[in-house]
Amino acid sequence: MIHPAAIVDPKAEIDGGVEIGPYSIIEKDVHIGEGSKIGPHVVIREGTMIGKRCRIFQFSSIGEAPQAVAYKGEKTSLIIGDDNIIREFVTLHRGTLKGGGKTVIGDRNFFMAYSHVAHDCQIGHQVVMANGATLAGHIVIEDYAVIGGLSAIHQFCRVGAHAFISGLTGVVLDIPPYMLAAGSRAKLFGLNAVGLKRQNFREETIRALKTAYRVIFRSGLTLEKAIKKAGDSEISRIPEVDHLLRFIQQTKRGICR
């Protein structure tokens, strides 16, 4: 149902079962997937594609032009997957040509009030961004990561799968997968063991990741030697440890320790 007080461009594509609340504005070149619910006073700008069964709460700004000085009005996009929850006052921006032209958000993510995703970010599945969490441009967030309230992540950083970033944390380097980070300038505080147990990780996997953490980050070895030592050990046969090692080896900004 589309409320009569909503403004929906005739060139927008609205699938069946979509609800759009009063005073929301849906521009041209927008696609909203089946069963999604758009609350009142939501603005969805052109170039936005929203999947199925998403719920967007009041006063959110979806697909706005990127806050980038180099952006000159080029046609770019925001792609949002299925089953996402986007709470009040969330801002999700389109991409820039320099960053590939699109911001991409996966499925079943939870964006709490006032969280912000800037241009050209790539967000996986089942990520949680708590109230006021902020991503600069060109950031990669892997699956199941949790970004605490009022945290800020520097552009071009990566956050690994199942990582947990505490509230009020400033992130300027890559956060390795499966780890817990906190502090005004983020530091690692061990494995995100509680989160991994909640996701039903095997005890063998958790033990292997704890061993990898001690070898890589607390052995006193250089990062290069620590990665080699962990890679030459039996724990490297655990897929999650292999992912951790590859994530670290692929860093461009450096790894939070």
Q: What is the pLDDT of residues 90-123, one digit of tens each?
A: 999 999 999 999 999 999 999 999 999 999 999 9
Same domain? 113 vs 236: no
Contact between 54 and 83 (Cβ < 8 Å): yes
| pLDDT one-digit tens code per residue, 154-186 | 999 999 999 999 999 999 999 999 999 999 999
Which of 92, 108, 19, 87 is closest to 49 using CA atoms?
Answer: 92
Same domain? 46 vs 121: yes
Name the active-site residue from 51, 81, 93, 119: 119
Model confidence at 4, pLDDT cuts 50, 70, 90, reads: very high
Name the active-site residue from 39, 51, 81, 137: 137
**Catalytic residue status for 174:** no
- Domain presence at residue 119: yes
Name the token pair of 45. Answer: 């700008």
Model confidence at 199, pLDDT cuts 50, 70, 90, reads: very high
- Domain presence at residue 256: no
Say if strands 158-159 and 48-50 run parallel, antiparallel, or are unpaired.
unpaired
Mean pLDDT confidence for 199-204: 98
Task: Give the residue from 169, 195, 221 where a domain finishes.
Answer: 195
Q: What is the pLDDT of residue 181?
A: 98
Q: What is the pLDDT of residue 53?
A: 98
Name the active-site residue from 93, 120, 132, 243: 120
Which of 201, 139, 150, 143 is closest to 174 using CA atoms?
Answer: 139
Mean pLDDT confidence for 22-30: 98
**Residue 203, CB half-sphere, CA atoms under 13 Å: how many?**
0
Which residues lie across from 80 on neighbouring strands?
50, 105
Burial of 194 (0-12, 13-18, 19+ CB in 10 A): exposed
**Catalytic residue status for 120:** yes
d(CA 199, CA 111): 20
Q: What percent of the chain has pLDDT over 90?
A: 100
Q: What is the pLDDT of residue 125?
A: 98
Number of domains present in the structure of the chain: 2
Task: Give the residue from 172, 195, 218 where a domain finishes.
Answer: 195
| Predicted TM-score (pTM) of this structure | 0.97
**Domain extent at residue 22:** 7-195
Model confidence at 191, pLDDT cuts 50, 70, 90, reads: very high
CATH number at residue 189: 2.160.10.10
d(CA 257, CA 253): 13
Task: Give the residue from 195, 217, 235 where a domain finishes.
Answer: 195
Question: What DSSP character marks residue 110?
Answer: E
